[in-house]
Amino acid sequence: MSDAENGLFDMVVVKDISRLARNTLDLLKSIRRLKALNIETIFLTANMTVLDQSEFALTIFAALAQEESANMSKRVKFGKKENAKKGRVPNIVYGYDKKIGDYFNLAINEEESKIVRQIYHWYIEDGYGASKIAKMLNEKGLKTKRNCNFSQNGICRILTNEIYIGKIINGKQEVKDFLTGSRVNKNEQDWLVTERKDLRIIEPDVFEKAQQIMKGRHEAFNVKHERQSNKYLFSTLIKCKECGWSFRRTIRTYKNTYVRWVCSGRNGRGVDSCDNSISVDEEELICILDEKFSGMNANKERIIKKISKEFVKKYKTEDENRELERSLNMKLQKCQKKRKKYVEMYAEDLITKEELKANVDGLLEQQKQIENQLKVVSFDFNRSKDLERLMEQTFQNMEISVRDMTNAQLKQIIDRIEVDKDGHIDINFRLIDEFGFDNTVLISDNYT
């Protein structure tokens, strides 16, 4: 319209009325502005000009075009819903190929699936962030499906897309108004979920672990102002007990070079923000950890036995979990059968829509509770596997000298190192914190 007001053209040629505006009101507003500027508008399919035409005829044509647009929106929505029910995927997804002659179905791309697994490994096991992973893939010369470089957002989408565990989810949103194109989020119970185990690249427990890490990092950044970093050996590992901020690496050179770690809260915001003036010598901390790890390796069998005993106390046994899982699955099947029965009764006019809603809503709530209980059971199963994996990984990594470790390897052993204003250092092991065990499971000492 600004071009029209500046006199850059004297005629607008449009194929169809619906192409100029989405609805009757917008069309009339646009036409009136063009008329005021003495600019002619021609609609080819209607064989109509505007300057010599009454608004009545134009309003009729516009209303018809709007109704056709509404019907088209309904047809598109119906088509999408049917495709979603069949588990079809219209998008291009990294790690999969489209089957020839079938645009909606996918087949696993073996080479790309290896990259997807590597991304999850880097993120979960090595502690790399999405930006670092994207950089590493680009350095290898790898490209996305659209032949572009990987980006941080692209990696995050791979880490959060349920399709990699064989679950296709459609219908998370719907168009509220076809005129404006505005979307609204739908309730989770209304999502269309299709299980496709043949498309699984990542195991569900690995996927869930990635979500937990992502959530933890998000909270760490928003609550504790802490960025994910693995630049140095102790990056984001040393925490101030007084203010909660991470320690920052500093280097001082006077005859010799001294590498020390200080509270970044006090160092960056001033001495009034934190009472912790302690500086931790990096070389001394390495020696402390080497001594600690050596002592734990010497008592490896006793520690593993004690941890296993604590695990049995805290979580259900495998047999108990299997029995509970069987019972819950039977309840879930009964609940689903009841729901199906009420829908059939409504279809045969045996109950009203209100009665259907009252019964189905209660069953949906019951079904959701059972599914949540099954998640807890599955969580206990996975915890047992996680414990074995983490114990093996912890003792394996502790055989390496701390000086030769990467930040990611050290984070696989240690959750955090806390330093108070009196210089006391508490080492919190990941094995203890992750499973909520008592600190007495491992030998623990305070170092000053």
Confidence of residue 381 (pLDDT cuts 50, 70, 90): low
Q: Is the pLDDT of residue 48 over 50?
A: yes
Q: Among 61-70, 71-80, 229-238, 239-248, which stretch is predicted with the lowest mean pLDDT?
A: 71-80
Number of Cβ within a 10 Å radius of residue 109? 17
pLDDT in tens, 92-106: 889 999 877 666 678
CA angle 166–172–173, rounded 5-degree value: 150
pLDDT in tens, 224-274: 545 566 778 898 899 999 888 889 999 988 778 889 999 998 888 888 889
The answer, as to whether pTM is greater than 0.95, is: no
Distance CA 446, CA 448 (A): 7
Identify which of 75-79, 140-144, 176-180, 211-215 has the greatest average pLDDT: 140-144
Residues facing 194 on adjacent strands: 168
DSSP 422-444: T--EEEEEHHHHHHT--GGGS--
Helices 353-397, 318-347: axis angle to 10 degrees equals: 160
pLDDT in tens, 330-348: 888 888 888 888 888 888 8
Q: Which of 122, 113, 115 is nearest to 141 (CA)?
A: 115
Per-residue confidence (pLDDT) for residue 286, from 0 to 100: 94
pLDDT in tens, 90-149: 678 899 998 776 666 788 999 999 999 999 999 988 888 888 899 999 999 999 998 999
Per-residue confidence (pLDDT) for residue 388, from 0 to 100: 76
Secondary structure (3-state) at 377: helix
Average pLDDT over residues 71-80: 68
Given a contact cutoff of 8 angstroms between Cβ atoms, the answer to whether 432 and 296 are in contact is no
Q: What percent of the chain has pLDDT over 90?
A: 23
In terms of pLDDT, which residue wins out, 393 or 189? 393
Q: Exposure string (b/e) for 174-202, b if CB count within 10 Å is 16 or more?
A: eeeebbeeeeeeeeeeeebebeeeebbbb
Per-residue confidence (pLDDT) for residue 178, from 0 to 100: 55
Go through the domains of the chain in sequence order and give each one's CATH number.
Answer: 2-85 (3.40.50.1390), 96-221 (3.90.1750.20), 229-448 (no CATH)
